[in-house]
Amino acid sequence: MPSRLPKKPSSDDVARLASVSRATVSYVLNGKSAGLVSDETCERVYAAARQVGYRVNNLAKGLKSGRTALIGVFCKVREDSFHARLLHGIYDICYDAGYNVLIAYLGANEQIEEECLQRMLDYNVTGIIRIASANLSDVEINRLSRMQTHGDTPCVLVDDPTHGDLFDSVVSDDKAGAIAAVQHLISLGHTRIGHINTGNVANRGRRARHEGFLAAMRSADLPANDILVSPVFDNDEIDAIRAFMDQPDRPTALFCTNDWGAGITREVVRKLGIRVPEDLAIVGFGDNEIAKCSGLTTVHEEPELMGQQAVRLLLARKDMPAIDHASVVEPTRLVIRESTRPVLNKR
């Protein structure tokens, strides 16, 4: 007698294991949990679904809605720790909710960007997540707005909250993080604090961190001393940092816009015979692997959580298109390591 096939796991199995109702399982796994189910309960449902091997029937769902179980992601930065972690967060929630991710890496050509968007729409994607590395052009904003309004394809912006009347958005609290970093240096007795402002000046996060630096210095009635450095870090930029640190009254502490720039700066000052942290305190931003391995005091941010929130906003917008646009601000926190210490000599 042939053996009986194992029973296919159901949403009832997930509900029993997670100790929730079947309706709650449906809300969570179909991306309708926003405002209805707590994050803790969502995680419990996702874990239970993985444990029993339950998957949403996306074929049936797609036939009913006319949409594929695809979420499109547009990103201009490829080799970047922040964006890689953000994409990881997007994929985590998409996987648990039964969606696949379609990624397009964009260049500077408007025509190519429009063609990439049209290809995604040809796949009937459920929605678009646009990761901004700089201010989006008016052309792109209009294009995404038309897609959302007339094409019934919702869009969420990541790292760009400036169009809250048109799109949902998720950002990191960069300004608060920068203020915390500078206040930490001030609490250690530093008064000559410099800012190595690396990165794209059109990037919202870079601007917010610079604003935070200036705000903290003004609040302490200290003069601001900063330098704008290209993210490429060629010989000109390295020479600029060297000149910045070779002043008679050079800074005793530095706040760098990101960890990568902090790592380069640390190497430049080492070659000048300046010791970290004995002669110079350094704080970065991002808390990437460089920071963790090198003992860099830095501001920790949560790109994975930003990616997860973007997916949740997108799925909520899909089901409730008339709700007010939301802007989620993910908090940052200071992580103190070995690259900062109280000032020894106030020359």
CATH classification at residue 228: 3.40.50.2300
Pair 163, 195 in one domain: no
Let me know if residue 1 belongs to a domain. Answer: no
pTM of the model: 0.77
On whether residue 335 sits in a domain, the answer given is no
Beta bridge partners of 103: 73
Q: Cα torsion for 245, 247, 248, 253, to the nearest 10°?
A: -40
Is 282 part of a structural domain of the chain?
Answer: yes
Among 282, 301, 320, give the residue marking a domain's end. 301
pLDDT of residue 334: 98
Q: Do 135 and 21 share a domain, yes or no?
A: no
Low-confidence ranges of the chain (pLDDT < 70): 1-7, 31-32, 34-35, 55-67, 77-80, 107-109, 151, 199-202, 228-235, 345-347
pLDDT for residue 296: 97
The domain total for the chain is 3
What domain range includes position 85?
58-172+303-330
pLDDT of 1 reads 44
In this prediction, residue 215 carries a pLDDT of 96
Residue 344 lies in a domain: no
- Asked if the structure places residue 156 within a domain, the reply is yes
Segment holding 14, helix H or strand E: helix 11-18
So what's the pLDDT on residue 235?
66
C-alpha separations of 153 from 63, 76, 216 in Å: 17, 21, 41
Based on the fold, state whether residues 196 and 294 are members of the same structural domain. yes
Same domain, 41 and 104: no
Q: What is the pLDDT of residue 63?
A: 46
pLDDT in the model for residue 108: 60
Kindly state the tokens that stand for 309: 């929130």
User: Within a domain: residue 347?
Assistant: no
Same domain? 200 vs 315: no
pLDDT for 234: 57
Q: Which residues contact 208 (CB under 8 A, 6 or more apart)?
A: 174, 175, 178
Check residue 77 and give its pLDDT. Answer: 63
d(CA 44, CA 326): 25
The whole-number pLDDT of residue 59 equals 47
The number of CA neighbours under 13 Å toward the Cβ of 143 is 16
Q: Are residues 153 and 46 in the same domain?
A: no
Q: Domain with 20 in it: what CATH number?
A: 1.10.260.40
Looking at the domain assignment, is residue 167 inside a domain?
A: yes
178 plus 287 within the same structural domain: yes
Residue 341 lies in a domain: no
Q: Do 131 and 158 belong together in one domain? A: yes
Do both 181 and 274 map to the same domain?
yes
pLDDT score for 102: 87
Q: Which of 263, 286, 301 is the last residue in one of the domains? A: 301
